[in-house]
Amino acid sequence: MQVIETHTMEEIFERIKPCEAFKMQGNHNPVMTQRFGADPYALVYDGRVYLYMTGDDPMYDENGKLKENTYGNINKINVVSSQDLVNWTDHGTVYAASESGAAKWGANSWAPAATYKKIDGKDRFFLYFANNGNGIAVLSADSPVGPFIDPINGPLISRKTPNCAEVTWLFDPAVLMDDDGSAYLYVGGGVPSPDKASNPGTARVVKLANDMISLDGDPQPIENVAFLFEDSGINKINDKYYYSYCSNFSMTREDEEKHGFEQGEIVTLVSDSPMGPFKPYRPVLKNPEFFFGLGGNNHHCMFEFKNQWYITYHSRILEEAMGMNGGYRSTNIDILDIKDGGPSVSKGTREGVKQLSYLNPYDEVKAVTMSNSAGINTVQYGDDAVLSGSGDMIVSVIKDGSWLSVEGVDFGDEKPFEICMKIKSSGEGAIRVSIDGYDGQAIAYVPVEASGNEDEDIFIALEYVPEGVHDLYFTFAGSDYEVISWRFLK
């Protein structure tokens, strides 16, 4: 065990000012701040929620001025997961499209949708996304975080697919796995012409074949989707099928009063069959502008986790906190109300949802598991992740005052005596481990020495023994080192 001089460490951190976070401590939206992530889609698997998000990437002109988000440079999909909906593990960015991605034939990766199915006795994961507004790709993997491959080397749905050539925006997939093992894909959007704004006729549904990478029939129109704009959604709740979408921006005040929803709002339809016909049901989420002051397109996914329904959607609160104004989106989660057996009106908040379970500090915890952070970044870790973009990640780009936090860590009454941090370093520094704030009670100071960038376990005796449930903070000094994981020993 290494011996450290506590007073020296205290002096180091007294001189360091913590970096400013982009969300208030205690707020849970957006779910991550180290990257943008739009058009979220939730997959519940093995006790965790996986969120797949369009990888908004800020664009700048030749003078370094921020450009408006046109989505044209997006070819990656961000992935995070959580078992408590507060502490999120970063799984990186799926290299989805373009010559450097899995779907080399495609230019873009917008609006992902994900599901899994047991095939040949093994769970297989499928990631659907839009190639710009001109078709749907499908990737597959043996893990929810990849590495993903393109099993068909071409589009699953294109303008050559029957009943799809006339769809204005052939994008925004959603996927339903029904109770009998059958699967359905929902796509489409856009307004063909101003006179068709009230009933664009651009929504489609198609049954997927058993392999999940081909179609079982031709896509069929979803009739009478009033003021459709974009953003397919689909859920089965209490044996009813709820198709959801974002309304377009051509609605007059009279239209809004007649239909009972506003422009840019998430709206639901209901049916007894996954293929329809659907009839109007309820609006469920107003445009983010209503809650946060900045608007734009509205994109959502409704999901059930641990006997509670939630809605995940994007807003612009992260870019606002960063002092940006370019239409770059980040992902939120809030409660979805269920009334009379179906989805009802929900509210967008900065506070987000409550933590569902406590984190166990005696298991090895990936350092990229965070409720909040400031002044850090995350990078791929290991050959597979570096090649495909997603998988294992580590905390990187550390500097004086960088920090990260995890909420609701349950030490119980076990009286831990030591912390182990796995680190790789070409530089030097130190880590202050504290509870209930980066300026809270210090429980350990971890010295960092150059290790030739080799993984190294550093064991440090605790200065203070925590008991019960606390938030845990890691504050960093120095640079040129990366943090892989941590755990407490009892």
Active site residue 230: yes
Q: How many CA atoms lie within 13 A of 405 on its CB side?
A: 31
Active site residue 449: no
Residue pair 186/203 in contact (Cβ under 8 Å)? The answer is yes
> What are the Cα distances from residue 486, in Å, to 297, 366, 369, 370, 461?
39, 7, 10, 12, 14
Pairing of strands 88-95, 403-410: unpaired
> What are the Cα distances from residue 288, in Å, to 68, 249, 268?
18, 14, 17
Provide the pLDDT for residue 6.
Answer: 62
Query: Among the options 230, 319, 400, 407, which is catalytic?
Result: 230
Locate 315 and state its tokens: 């807003």
Provide the pLDDT for residue 3.
Answer: 42
Q: Is-above-0.95 flag for pTM?
A: yes
Provide the pLDDT for residue 138.
Answer: 98
Provide the pLDDT for residue 454.
Answer: 94
Longest dimension (CA), the chain: 76
> What are the Cα distances from residue 308, in Å, to 30, 331, 354?
20, 19, 11
CATH of 38-343, one of 1.10.540.10, 2.115.10.20, 3.40.50.1100, 3.40.190.80: 2.115.10.20
Provide the pLDDT for residue 264.
Answer: 97
> What are the Cα distances from residue 115, in Å, to 44, 131, 145, 222, 424?
8, 18, 12, 22, 35
- CATH 2.60.120.260 assigned to 6-18+358-489: yes
Which amino acid is it at 361?
P
Provide the pLDDT for residue 1.
Answer: 32
User: Which residue ranges in the chain fall short of pLDDT 70?
Assistant: 1-7
Provide the pLDDT for residue 8.
Answer: 86
Enumerate the domain spans of the chain: 6-18+358-489, 38-343
The terminus-to-terminus CA distance of the chain in angstroms comes to 15
Provide the pLDDT for residue 158.
Answer: 98
The pLDDT tens digits of the residues spanning 467-481 come to 999 999 999 999 999
Query: Among the options 39, 172, 334, 482, which is catalytic?
Result: 39
Rounded to whole angstroms, how far apart are CA atoms 93 and 114?
14
